[in-house]
């Protein structure tokens, strides 16, 4: 019998790609999603790619009763990947209670469910945001956790502490915390991808919309940083590569191979890419021009961060493999598909 995995936030950007990779790896996937920042049609895209329709519950993970009812209905579950969370840094500054409630209540409900329903493993989506402005790059998992600069970032730090504290009580399941750098891209089939609502806040969705003429031009936030070309440097990781890391993490826990009750892994490429490099590579990959202008720095931006993924390479047997050009071409194909469908 296939092992069953619950994906909270499984209709979202990273969740949907992870669903595909888990199904490809032979897992049976059950999605919990309240569709607050996603569409149910994503499930059609997943089915088109894999030929398998995941089970779906439109529930909010802050609703413990609904979560427990779904667990009861589904029978034995091997693991959870907990993506469901509010993720807009700027919004979190204006709506901190919403962020603390959504992100932490849902986590606590899922952790208690993991214990009560005898799961083997719990994967949590964390972020490189926990490192703040790092003292040196590339950043490895032992780098100090810096004070959070937004309520969103704080929810990721607190969430990591909650998981640690809960594991210390001697619960029966293991946890793996995955710290993502900057996830970008789309499935090469263009059946699933990122669906930003309103004006995109992240770089690549904005680049795609500017290239398509939906936005007049990209604003490059600062060219006076202490970097090779003056723009900020990030570690852009392909969403399919990222999704595959979740399969490795679950395999490790389901097979009982964890060395620690809580393990931490950076998920990045190990390479820093500047804003200008990303824009130029996008134009090379697609042959499409990206109109842009340089404006002032964005408040709170970190000058340079990229991860050292050796720990994930060595222990999880995972390595980022998709070249940046291919990732950018996939994102553009998805953007074109959205236009064909009249979505944007
Ligand atoms: C990337 C670079 C911008 C938009 C975010 C989250 C963080 C974490 C990772 C999840 C920066 C520049 C952007 C634009 C630009 N996610 N930029 N013009 O800031 O690294 O972090 O993803 O936990 O919490 O905040 O990503 O895509 O917003 O920016 O010049 O219109 O692109 O200044 O250098 P960021 P981003």
* The predicted structure's pLDDT at residue 342: 85
- Could you tell me the distance, in angstroms and rounded to a whole number, from the CA of residue 298 to the centre of ligand 1? 9
Residue minimizing CA distance to atom 17 of ligand 1: 203
* The predicted structure's pLDDT at residue 59: 98
Q: Are strands 233-234 and 273-274 parallel, antiparallel or unpaired?
A: antiparallel
157 lines ligand 1 (CB under 6 A): no
Q: What is the pTM of this model?
A: 0.98
- Could you tell me the distance, in angstroms and rounded to a whole number, from the CA of residue 203 to the centre of ligand 1? 6
**Which is the closest atom of ligand 1 to the Cα of 182?**
9
Does the annotation mark 166 as catalytic?
no
Of these residues, 131, 152, 180, 306, which one is catalytic?
152
DSSP per residue, 121-176: EEEEEEEGGGG-S-SSSSB-TTSPPPPPSSHHHHHHHHHHHHHHHHHHTT-SSEEE
221 lines ligand 1 (CB under 6 A): yes
Indicate the length of the chain as a whole number.
344
pLDDT 10s digit of each residue in the chain, 344 long?
Answer: 899 999 999 999 999 999 999 999 999 999 999 999 999 999 999 999 999 999 999 999 999 999 999 999 999 999 999 999 999 999 999 999 999 999 999 999 999 999 999 999 999 999 999 999 999 999 999 999 999 999 999 999 999 999 999 999 999 999 999 999 999 999 999 999 999 989 999 999 999 999 999 999 999 999 999 999 999 999 999 999 999 999 999 999 999 999 999 999 999 999 999 999 999 999 999 999 999 999 999 998 999 999 999 999 999 999 999 999 999 999 999 999 999 998 87
203 lines ligand 1 (CB under 6 A): yes
**Which is the closest atom of ligand 1 to the Cα of 231?**
34
């Amino acid at each position: 019998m296939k092992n069953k995995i619950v994906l909270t936030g499984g209709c979202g950007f990273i969740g949907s790609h992870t669903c595909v990779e888990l199904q490809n790896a032979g897992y049976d996937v059950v999605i919990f999603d309240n569709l607050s920042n996603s569409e149910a049609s994503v499930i059609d895209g997943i089915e088109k790619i894999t030929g398998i329709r995941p089970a779906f519950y439109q529930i909010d993970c802050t609703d413990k009763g609904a979560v427990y009812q779904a667990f009861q209905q589904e029978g034995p579950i091997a693991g959870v990947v907990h993506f469901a969370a509010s993720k807009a840094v700027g919004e979190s500054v204006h709506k901190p209670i919403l962020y603390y409630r959504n992100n932490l209540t849902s986590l606590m409900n899922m952790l208690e469910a993991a214990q009560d329903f005898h799961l083997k493993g719990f994967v949590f989506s964390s972020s490189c945001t926990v490192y703040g402005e790092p003292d040196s790059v590339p950043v490895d998992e032992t780098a100090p956790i810096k004070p959070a600069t937004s309520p969103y970032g704080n929810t990721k730090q607190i969430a990591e502490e909650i998981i640690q504290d809960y594991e210390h009580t001697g619960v029966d399941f293991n946890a793996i915390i995955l710290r993502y750098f900057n996830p970008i891209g789309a499935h090469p089939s263009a059946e699933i991808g990122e669906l930003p609502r309103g004006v995109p806040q992240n770089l690549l969705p904005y680049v795609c919309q500017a290239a398509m003429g939906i936005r007049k031009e990209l604003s490059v936030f600062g060219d006076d940083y202490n970097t090779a070309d003056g723009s900020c440097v990030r570690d852009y990781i392909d969403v399919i590569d990222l999704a595959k890391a979740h399969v490795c993490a679950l395999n490790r826990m389901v097979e009982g191979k964890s060395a620690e009750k809580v393990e931490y892994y950076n998920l990045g490429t190990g390479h820093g890419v500047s804003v200008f490099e990303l824009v130029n590579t996008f134009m090379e990959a697609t042959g499409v021009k990206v109109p842009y202008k340089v404006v002032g720095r964005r408040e709170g931006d970190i000058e340079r961060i990229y991860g050292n993924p050796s720990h994930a390479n060595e222990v999880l047997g995972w390595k980022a493999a998709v070249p940046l050009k291919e990732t950018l071409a996939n994102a553009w194909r998805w953007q074109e598909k959205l236009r064909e469908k009249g979505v944007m």
